Amino acid sequence: MAPALAQFEQVYKDKVQFVDINVDDVNSPQYQKYADQKETRSIPETMILKNGKVVFRKVGSMRFEDMKRAVDAAMK
């Protein structure tokens, strides 16, 4: 997912904040806490939040075009 996030950061800079969270990182309990709060059960998982609420969620990898469509819809 990291290469796709880097590509999106270029396309949407100054409009959208992208965050890559490794919920398996045992040295970062805040990641696990966040995953628990958002009920993450599988990875990879893509979530789009708008005003703190999940407006899109998909388990599994996503193609750039599909992710772009989801981000564009969330920005409306």
Q: Is the pTM of this model over 0.85?
A: no
**Predicted confidence (pLDDT) per residue in 32-53, tens digit:** 777 778 787 777 888 888 888 8
Tokens of 27: 């040295």
Distance, in Å, from the CA atom of 40 to the CA atom of 47, rounded to the nearest integer, reads 9
2-74 carries CATH number 3.20.20.140:
no
**Predicted confidence (pLDDT) per residue in 57-74, tens digit:** 888 888 888 989 999 999
